[in-house]
Structure formats: C-alpha cells, structure tokens
Amino acid sequence: MLCLGSPAAAIEGYHREMNVEHNLEFVDPLELFARWLKEAETSEPNDANAAALATSTPDGDPSVRMVLVKRADDRGFCFFTNAESKKGMQLQANPRAALCFHWKSLQRQVRVEGRVTEMAAVDVDEYFHSRSRNSQIGAAISQQSRPLASREELEAQFRKFAEDHPGEVPRPPYWRGFCLHAEQIEFWISDEDRLHSRYLFTRDGGTWKKTLLYP
C-alpha cells in the first residue's frame, strides 16, 4: 500500500506502479480501485463512493445521474434503486451502463463500463434492512422519477406509511439492486500541462489487458 502524501508524490507513485512501457508488476484493476476508494474515503468531504451512472434506452437515448456504489469487487460495482425509475427502466430494457468516479481531492478519476445484472433478492433484502428506518420508508413510498403534486403530499404519505407499519418495513418489490460487471476500467491521473495519464484495463477472458492512452 502506498503511503498518503502530497498529491504530486501520490501521482508519481501511481505512474511508477502502472507504467506500461517499463512492464512493471501487473496491477489488478479491481484491487487498485479498492485502494483508490479507500484513500478517497479519507480525503473527499462527502460520499467517496458516489459515481455518475450513465444508462440509455435501446434506441440509444442517454441519461445520467449520481448513485452511491455500495459494493465494488469481482462480483461487480453494485448499487440500489427503484426499478420503476427512469434509470431502473432503462437498465432493464438495455442492460449496459457506465460509471464515473471523480475524486477532486486526489486528482483522480475512474471510469467503468460493462453489462448489468440484477442482484439476488436475499442480498437486496439484507441491504435494505440495514438502512435506517426512515430511509426504508422513504424508499417504500417514493414513486421515483414520476410527477409529485406537492412536498406536503410526499410528507403525508411518509407519515401514513410509518403509522401503518410500526414494525419492520417491508421491502417493496420494485426496490432492487443492480451490479455492473466491468469489461473496461480506466484510471485517470491528473498531471501538469494537461498531459494527464490514462490507463485502460480491458477484460480478456479471465485476465485484464492494460493499455496506456493519450490524454
């Protein structure tokens, strides 16, 4: 593990570690992402696991929004949402997506692209019930992405649902988990004169191919 220091020192260290031309020790992109995320959790003011999620319709009409990635490992980059929302509908109609993490404090960015699958219901249940009670209620009543008459209506629905369910909050069937299975992962490192470094990892069967890209 590299020690945290100045941004310049960290950048120089990662240049050495990922240098393609000198064919240094191979870097597993999932392990590297985990290390970068861990560092971002100490330097970013809010939500180091936040990423822009890009989805599209089968016809290619795109949309993008921020999500919180709750798990990132060899099982995928996983997040939770209302499956009846715009992003949920697009993911089901066109199960391919892209994520972009940007950590300004570290001058780094990670882009991930690949196919998307749904998480098993038991895993979704486990995470849903690990959230605060109010967050569970909010997810249960939200008709995400659809028109809302007023804020007062939303708050009234919240209060009524809480009164009707004094015990465990049932997970609504439309609240699900999705995992993006990375086929490409790109690591971007800021550098002087906008000569940024970009390292692209492309999945090739059970291995990863590493390529250095122009800025």
Q: Using an 8 Å Cβ cutoff, are 180 and 69 in contact?
A: no
Q: Using an 8 Å Cβ cutoff, are 175 and 83 in contact?
A: yes
Give the Cα separation of 37 and 211 in Å (integer): 22
| 3-class secondary structure, 158 | helix
| 3-class secondary structure, 4 | coil
CA-closest candidate to residue 200, choices 34, 30, 209:
209
Residues designated catalytic: 194
| 3-class secondary structure, 104 | coil
- Strands, E assignment, 32-174: 50-56, 62-68, 71-73, 76-82, 96-103, 108-118
Phi, psi of 186 (to 5 degrees): -115, 130
